[in-house]
Structure 1
């Protein structure tokens, strides 16, 4: 059993300042060495810049701040952290359940490829957001100040091409879109690099599972209950699934079995986080162990989140944070078996 920690960063100001502060915090940390080993030394900087200018120009400013904070060039920061033209990564597992009242999900992978950062950011040119970092700039999952919640779900590398990673797409959506409808519109326009599902929910009770491949995007909506895992379900998309999706199918069956229980936000969060749950995994050496549980209640703007093996739970009214009330906690601690 090994100790497992996640740092909580709270950053407000210009996007450049947010990037600068993040870079200073992360300089010489282990995650940068990991990213150095799995990303390209150079990418097509002008193509990346053109896409980000169209969808989220404030993230270009943040990249400039990151470069300065880390003491590297803008082009190196773009290759290392932008989430554009990233080499194929190993499979990730994620299970999400959405209702008209809340959004809750588990993220499953390996702690060796995990940023270990939960960030609350409030830029003066974008919507405030909170979520778990991936490749520093991107997000595994999160929520914004309008109550839009979102997460990624790896499906396959079928048709893989140079484009925007799903974790960068999440950041773009959360900090520029106010609703599921707006998010779906943007996800149809972003040039995706691989096959991913995106789970979406908003404070109006709308929810959607977006199935995205580099060539097209399809959308499945729900009225008051919707699940999302790691395989496509729309007929025109299923040919892009991996050969073996039995595990994903079983997780989805379990999520669907919860439909009649009508559990509260707290109950569902603790079910996902429990090590006894059918959707909590400990296969960390096979890159399939639960690392964090993230959830958001639309009724009271409440984030509940915790990490594997941790007793401490971060319980935050995100609207209070947006209004200036800082989080007292500085980290979450847990254990990996």
Structure 2
């Protein structure tokens, strides 16, 4: 069975509050808002949340306030639904990424039911500009900032699960405030993580890393020129925090490691990831493991390239041009979900 889906491209500039207000207005009456209301806790400790946000990205508090007014809901409710703080266990998601000195390419694999369907470009007065796919509105599944720092998340496990920051909110905090990989690693070591996640990271100087983060321990995996990242911890000291069965993740990692020796260009690597016949593309949407988008970034020219599943419609632009005021003309991307088990 085939099913079309769309992602809206939203572009906003200005104060943190106005950016949030714009997002709130655009999301009024959208299905995903009801889904998050149902999934999230009805209330969280606002004081604790604001304390954490104030330490890492205080402007996001103002953005939350803007979201609340845009949606015409209370700030207390908006914080519980969209902050990514003290959330219940969310269904597991998958992802595969390859990082080189020249580029970053990744697939995001999950279910369309918990997918914002938004690609957001934000030029804030108080933070680095960013472009990426949103999660829970405030957060980012993957993205890049105006300094050329790019990153994405990879779920590992719920071991040591605690009250803390979701991986997608952590990415937003890092992209908004960090200029390079070293700064990103430092912040990820300080953020109180709610669950076990990998973070794949690269910057325009060619400095690449994978941060393997659990609520109790954060370690860094580095390589001079080529790294891959999937859904299990590889550092021996935290290997016990993995899920019991990681063979599927290891198989994807081995495939990407083999690609290293082919010296692929970013365009060819992008095609490998988006190809429906690739070992990195999945159609298990009902098992929460279907490819929803492919995202790539070239460090040398700030070129962002992305597309949705089974789509020939590729969005490609230079973030540096958008920062100069060149608005994207495309307002929506389309993709196709093919359910294998129907």
TM-score by length of 2: 0.98
C-alpha distance in 1 between matches for 2:223 and 2:116? 32
Q: Tell me the residue number matched to 1:274.
A: 275
Q: Tell me the residue number matched to 1:112.
A: 113
Q: Tell me the residue number matched to 1:304.
A: 305
**1:30 is aligned to 2:5:** no
Correspondence 1:1-337 to 2 at 5 A: 1-337=2-338
Unpaired runs of at least 5, structure 2: none
**CA deviations over 1:172-219 (Å, ceiling 9, x no partner):** 000100000000000000000010000000000000000001111100
C-alpha distance in 1 between matches for 2:335 and 2:134? 17
Unpaired runs of at least 5, structure 1: none
C-alpha distance in 2 between matches for 1:193 and 1:73? 25
Query: Could you list the runs of 4 or more consecutive aligned residues of structure 1 that deviate by over 4 angstroms after TM superposition?
Result: none
CA shift, 1:309, in A, is 1.7
SS in 1 for 2:190: coil
SS in 1 for 2:237: coil
CA shift, 1:74, in A, is 0.7
C-alpha distance in 2 between matches for 1:286 and 1:194? 20
RMSD between aligned residues: 0.5
SS in 2 for 1:205: coil
CA shift, 1:2, in A, is 0.8
TM-score by length of 1: 0.99
Q: How many residues align?
A: 337
CA shift, 1:75, in A, is 0.8
C-alpha distance in 1 between matches for 2:150 and 2:110? 21
CA shift, 1:322, in A, is 1.0
